[in-house]
Each structure stands twice: as structure tokens, then as C-alpha cells.
Chain A
Amino acid sequence: MANTKKVKGAEALLLSLIAEGADIIFGYPGGQVIPVYDSLYDYSTRIRHILTRHEQGAVHAAQGFARATGKVGVCLATSGPGATNFITGIADAMLDSTPIVCITGQVPAAMLGSDAFQEADMVSMTTPITKWNFQVTSASEIPGAIAKAFYIARSGRPGPVVIDITKNAQIEEAEFSYEPCTYLRSYLPTPIIDHSAIDSAIDMINSAAKPLLIIGQGIKLSNAEQELILFAERGNLPIASTLMGISAVPNNHPLFIGNLGMHGNVAANRMTQDSDLIIAIGMRFSDRITGDVKSYAPNAKIIHIDIDLAELGKNLRVDLPIKADAKEAIQLLTEGIKHVERADWFTFASDMDAEEKREVTDNCGDPKGEYISMAQVVQQLAIAEESNAIIVTDVGQNQMFSALYSRFNHTRSFITSGGLGTMGYGLPAAIGAKVGVPEREVVAIMGDGGFQMNIQELGTIMQENLGLKMIVLNNSFLGMVRQWQELFFDARYSFTNLANPDFVAIAKAYNINAAQVSSPAELNKALEELVNAEGSYLLEIRVMAQENIFPMVPAGASLSKLIYK
């Protein structure tokens, strides 16, 4: 039993965070959290608070921090508008299973429901987009609520938790002692594996001629990267990744055949359609991965392993659902797996790679060579960073080019808004990642649209002296929407072109080194300068205005209807 002492609720909150190892928080002050900020003033040596320029910046930074480190990200905001500015990030974290604890101030308990100044019903609003939420109305509840919040956020399938703390609870004094939460009788985060299902899976895999291992973020979330590779190597199984799974397996691993889905690689999608057995682990068969579910993997039996029961059979019919933690399931599968040669299957993979190179990669970019192509930028950056950087993307073409052409040697190196597709995510998430793993190179790749959705966070980068690298792929278009308008709406570019400011001047105004490049001949040198820059650096790259990202599976179409141009 920990010793007890009497402290204010605000201090109890900080002591609880410290007890959970959360010594970095992203936040923004306001009226109903002033008591917490007052306590932070005394705890500045034990808790690093990073002042963002908008609460949305704080929540995305907490997400980026969590994704890069595997720890729980923490953000703090005041009641009302401060709290509601968290909502996009909370919804994003819910879809992408990101463990974050969002702490919001609230009006005093006695004023709840009175439409008090800056009162917003945060618990009701966040119910469908949180794994758990709770309103604290007295100081004595704080340690217990924080303990539960961290336990729930990080265990099982991780997700966002909101703790709404009324102002009186921050000011009142209560006895403080901290007990971490390790058990709730109504919550069983680690499933008990059905061993007979594992045995069936082993038989199915050993007898499959064209198996395909499909991995998602669950591999990273359960720290199963090494186990996965051992399993795939022992069984000689090709591995394809979802967007969220990227970087769990190094790109140069001989069994890795690429990314799946709407803008995935040709081999991964064609092999899905040709496979006789899909082994899906820690992924959720999102519509961006499956295309038309009726024609998805028509020849394959499907084994789906996920920690979340609600995902099994949610989007498509599964032949063998297994509710399990990825790591545990993989270890059990590995025991029974046999090496099977499958030379034809791997030849098919390399044929498809050659097809992609011939039909797509070799043709992408500006045929006249006058303008820089986004594909070229991402490819060259991967070379310049020697596949060791953390790439944080925004949403749109910048994201899909980054997914397709980035190369990774290390896990947790690709951070992107996969489920919600939140424009404006990239810059603040990159801040969080850099704060979480300062020893690693972090590069934010953004479009000119998404960059401007949270451009104010340049202030945070300046104040914290973060050493973050930023690339703005500027085509003066909302590129992905423009691409859809070109392909599916007769090139009627309705409100997708942007008149942009001088991004280099803006960065410099924030005391951030910056440069602009527009000539393909100067691209490599410009990227080298970015890589070698000490401190933060922004490179604006003027890219061709109307570049499309291919391969592409049109929304709702079968994966077989892959288009190359």
C-alpha cells in the first residue's frame, strides 16, 4: 500500500500521471484547467508539458507520441471549446486503435447542466468515439480514474479514453495514494485462445498452395514483429501489409511483397485475388483494403486473427475466426508450421512486381521531366534517409505516395491517419513522434492542403526547438480529391485548387530554416540539405500540378479491377 498524503485534486492528477510513467503531456490552458496548470508550474521538472497552438494539435501530438513509442499519449485541454477541439483526434484514435488519455477540464460540479460558460457535455459527445470515458466530480476519484484510464487505453485493443474533471475536483483536497489498475471484472483484455482453432489454422496453412499472410497494426500493438517474421520464415509465407501495418516488417525482407488495398501494390492485391488461403492478423478488413467484399479473395479460405471479437466477421465472411492477441497466436502457430516450397507462388509475386514497375513505377512522374513528381520525392527521401526515418504523413496523395514508396528498416516508423483520414494530422502527429523518440529522424510529409489545416503548430516546433523535418508537397491542389474529380467527375475541379502563401517565408517567420525546390535536377541536393539540417527544417517542394497516384482500385470496385493509369 502506498503512503497517503493530502493534496489538491490538480496535484493528485499530476502525481497519478507520474505514477503511470506519463511524464510528457501535450496541452493548452483555459479557464477550467487553470488549477492543473497551476500545479504543473510546480512540477515542471517532473512533467514536460508541451504547449501546442490548438487543442487539435495537442491530441494529434499525443497520438503521434503513442504511435512512435508504444506508450500511452496524454493531452490536456480546458472545458467547452478546448474539449470539443479534441474530438477529431479522439475519433481518429478510436479508428486507429491508438492509446491516448485525454484530460479535459469541466465546469464546477454544482454548475453541470446549467449551460455555464464553456460548458460542453464531453462525456455524452465522446461516448461513441472512446473506448471508455468518465467524469470526475470529486478530488478523491482522481487517482482511481487515471489508473483505470491508462489500463483501459493500453490493454486489449488500445483506444482513446476521456477523463473529464470538474473544476471543484481540481481544487478540493483529498488523501492521495496510487494503485495501478490491473483488473476489472467486466473487462477481459487478453483473450483465452481456442487451441483447437490454432490446430485447424496450422493444418490449413500447411496444406495451402497459395497462402498470403496479411498483417495490420495489431502486429505493432502486440509487439509481435520478431515473432511474425519467424513464423513467416518458418512457413515460407509471403507477407502483405495494410496501411496501418506498414513498417512492422522491413521492406527489404524477402517475404514482404508490399501493401494492400486501394493504392496498394500490384502483387499484394493480385495475390489476394489468387490466393487459396488468407491468414489475416491484427487487421480489420477495412473497405479500403477489401474493395468490393463480394468479390474479395474469391478462391481463398480466410483465417482472421484479431483481439477484438467485434472485428471477426464484421466486414466479410471468415472461415476460421480466432480471437487472440497477435503475438500469442503467432507463437502458437509457429510451433506447428511446416516449410512448404511454393516456388510458383513466389514467382507470381515477382512477376506482379515486374508488372507494377513496367506499368506504373517506370511511367510515373512528369513525362517531360520538367516538374518534380511526388513519387520521386518519396523514393529519393527513402534513399537519403537510408530507410531509417520515421515518416509521418498527412492525408491524401501525399499519404498514398508515402505509403507506396517509403522504405523502412524499423517498426513503428510509419505514422498516418488510416481509419478516419484526418487532414491536418501530419504536422502535430510528427511533433508527438519527435518528442517521443527524439533520437530518431522524423519527417512529416504533407500536402499544401493538410499542412495549412494545422500550420499553427509551427509555433510549437519553434518553442520546443524540436528538430523536426517537414516536407510540403505543393501542387496547389487538394490532390486526392482532384484525382477523383479527374477520374470519376469529368475533370470538373470544383473547389480543389488552392492559392497558397509563401510557405518558406512562413517557416522563416517561425525561425525555422526552410527552402523551396521546383526543379527535378535540384531535388536530391534539396533533400540532402533537409536530411543533414541541424534543427527543424521545412522543404517546400513544388510538384507537378496534376499527378495521379496509381495503382488504384476505384472505391467499391473489386480488387481485380486494379487500374494502372
Chain B
Amino acid sequence: MNKEYILIAFTENQIGVLNRITTCYLRRKINIESLKVSESSIKGISMFVISSYTSLETITKITKHVSNFVEVLEVSYYDSNDLITQEIALYKVASDMFSGSERVDTILNQFGARMVELTPKYIVIEKTGTREEIEATRDKLDQSGNLIEFTRSGSVVLHRKSIDKILNNLIQNK
């Protein structure tokens, strides 16, 4: 059964690692839903967060495959329940939306968002939340006909257990 799996990998911050990891998905024809690479809490070590819809068997194979790569220090896959996952989204909406009787603050509160930029033509609002929350807001704005542009950060995650501790041990042991 396919469901969302999030692969988290810690790697040396070296050129080509991203390409090597994504080939594991590409060769199995699996679409990557979101991908984030940034420096982890340890300098020189990158953290990859890759979300995809696939089967348990496939994500297990991908994880083993990725673990073989020379630059990979640690890799595991997670169910979305294992992780605290948040995304940031920016929505550019038409200023007209706020020209009615309702106050701007009321609308923003309703969406759990805050204003980032205000111009006569458009307003940019920012929202942090789960993917579902972000998508729900997007749908509402879209249906109202006011959404001009939309962008999402991809998942920013923290494990409920401490991954960095595992990583620190790993580096010391090697």
C-alpha cells in the first residue's frame, strides 16, 4: 500500500550527493513530493528531508541503497506520525479581498496567518502549519478568486526523539 514516507539522510556536505540520492527515486519512477536540503545542527553535515508516496518495501530498499553511498552518514525513513512536520507557505492575494467590511486582522486570524507585505495591488501573507492546513488555506483563497501566487517551503521536520544525538554518537564511533 502506498503512503507518505519521509526519508531523512545526514550526509557530508559535498557536491553531487543530492544528485546521487535523487537517482534512487528516479530509477524506480517515484515522484518526490517535497525535498529540503540544508545544513544540520552539525557544521559540514547536510540534512536531507525527502517526502514521497510509495510502499514500505520500496522505501526500505531506497533507504538501504542510500545508506550505501560513500558520503551518507545516516539514513532512515519515517512515517509522518514519527515526525513533527511543519511547512511555511506564502500566499499573494489581491488587495480587493480586504476592501470589504471585514478587518484585515480578522481575516488573517481566521487563516492563522500574518501579513508580510502590503501594496495597493496585492498583499503577501505567511502561514506556518502542516501540509493539510496549508493546502486548506490555499483552497479557500483560491475559491474566493483572490489567490494570485502561492509557494510552499517543503517539510521542515524534527524527530520526536533526538536525531542529532544519534548522529553525534555515530560520528564519534566512526
Complex Cα spacing A313 to B65, Å:
12
Surface stretch bound by B, among A169-177, A180-188, A344-352: A180-188
Contact of B16 among A134, A309, A312, A313 (CB under 8 A): A134
Q: Is B71 an interface residue (CB 8 A)?
A: yes
Report whether B11 and A128 are in contact in the complex, using a CB–CB cutoff of 8 Å. Answer: no
**Contact residues in A for B12 (Cβ distance below 8 Å):** 186
* Chain B window 112-127, contacts with chain A (Cβ cutoff 8 Å), 1 for yes, 0 for no: 0000000000000000
**Contact residues in A for B19 (Cβ distance below 8 Å):** 124, 127
In angstroms, how far is the closest chain B Cβ from the Cβ of A242?
A: 21
Report whether B68 and A309 are in contact in the complex, using a CB–CB cutoff of 8 Å. Answer: yes
Contact of A186 among B11, B16, B27, B60 (CB under 8 A): B11
Q: Is B23 an interface residue (CB 8 A)?
A: yes
Complex Cα spacing A310 to B61, Å:
7
Report whether A186 and B23 are in contact in the complex, using a CB–CB cutoff of 8 Å. Answer: no
Report whether B67 and A186 are in contact in the complex, using a CB–CB cutoff of 8 Å. Answer: no
Complex Cα spacing A135 to B15, Å:
9
In angstroms, how far is the closest chain A Cβ from the Cβ of B71?
A: 5
Q: Is B72 an interface residue (CB 8 A)?
A: yes
Report whether A186 and B71 are in contact in the complex, using a CB–CB cutoff of 8 Å. Answer: yes
**Contact residues in A for B65 (Cβ distance below 8 Å):** 310
Q: Is A20 an interface residue (CB 8 A)?
A: no
In angstroms, how far is the closest chain A Cβ from the Cβ of B113?
A: 40
In angstroms, how far is the closest chain A Cβ from the Cβ of B149?
A: 30
**Contact residues in B for A127 (Cβ distance below 8 Å):** 16, 19-20, 23
Q: Is B73 an interface residue (CB 8 A)?
A: yes
Q: Is A95 an interface residue (CB 8 A)?
A: no
Q: Is B161 an interface residue (CB 8 A)?
A: no
**Contact residues in A for B64 (Cβ distance below 8 Å):** 309-310, 312, 314
Report whether B16 and A123 are in contact in the complex, using a CB–CB cutoff of 8 Å. Answer: yes
Complex Cα spacing A131 to B71, Å:
11
Q: Is A366 an interface residue (CB 8 A)?
A: no
Contacts A124-B19, A127-B16, A133-B16: A186 and B70 contacting too (C-beta < 8 A)?
yes
Nearest residue (CB) in A for B64 is A310
Q: Is B174 an interface residue (CB 8 A)?
A: yes
Interface range on chain A (Cβ under 8 Å from partner): 20 to 34
Nearest residue (CB) in B for A314 is B61
Nearest residue (CB) in B for A188 is B174
Report whether A310 and B67 are in contact in the complex, using a CB–CB cutoff of 8 Å. Answer: yes
**Contact residues in B for A128 (Cβ distance below 8 Å):** 20, 23, 26-27
**Contact residues in B for A308 (Cβ distance below 8 Å):** 68
Q: Is B171 an interface residue (CB 8 A)?
A: yes
* Chain A window 299-313, contacts with chain B (Cβ cutoff 8 Å), 1 for yes, 0 for no: 000000000111011
- Select the residue from B12, B15, B16, B72 with max chain A CB neighbours within 10 A: B16
List CB contacts (< 8 Å) of B34-77 with chain A: 60-61, 64-65, 67-68, 70-73
Complex Cα spacing A439 to B71, Å:
40
* Chain A window 189-227, contacts with chain B (Cβ cutoff 8 Å), 1 for yes, 0 for no: 000000000000000000000000000000000000000
Report whether A131 and B27 are in contact in the complex, using a CB–CB cutoff of 8 Å. Answer: no
Complex Cα spacing A58 to B65, Å:
29
Complex Cα spacing A506 to B19, Å:
45
**Contact residues in B for A310 (Cβ distance below 8 Å):** 61, 64-65, 67-68
Report whether A187 and B23 are in contact in the complex, using a CB–CB cutoff of 8 Å. Answer: no
* Chain A window 123-162, contacts with chain B (Cβ cutoff 8 Å), 1 for yes, 0 for no: 1100110011111000000000000000010000000000
Contact of B70 among A124, A131, A309, A314 (CB under 8 A): A131
List CB contacts (< 8 Å) of B112-168 with chain A: none
Nearest residue (CB) in B for A132 is B70
Complex Cα spacing A65 to B160, Å:
51
Complex Cα spacing A310 to B72, Å:
14
Report whether B70 and A185 are in contact in the complex, using a CB–CB cutoff of 8 Å. Answer: no
Report whether A184 and B68 are in contact in the complex, using a CB–CB cutoff of 8 Å. Answer: no
Nearest residue (CB) in A for B45 is A186
Nearest residue (CB) in B for A151 is B70
* Chain A window 310-322, contacts with chain B (Cβ cutoff 8 Å), 1 for yes, 0 for no: 1011100000000
Q: Give 26 pairs: A residue, B residue, CB < 8 Å, sorted on A.
A: A127-B16, A127-B23, A128-B20, A128-B23, A131-B70, A132-B70, A133-B16, A134-B16, A135-B15, A152-B70, A184-B70, A185-B171, A185-B174, A186-B11, A186-B70, A186-B71, A186-B72, A186-B174, A187-B70, A308-B68, A309-B64, A309-B68, A310-B61, A310-B68, A312-B64, A314-B64
> Can you add 13 more A-B contacts, CB < 8 Å, to A127-B20, A152-B70, A314-B64?
A124-B19, A131-B70, A134-B16, A186-B11, A186-B12, A187-B70, A308-B68, A309-B67, A309-B68, A310-B65, A310-B67, A312-B64, A314-B61
Ranked 8 nearest A-B pairs via Cβ: A310-B64, A128-B23, A185-B174, A186-B73, A187-B70, A132-B70, A310-B65, A127-B19
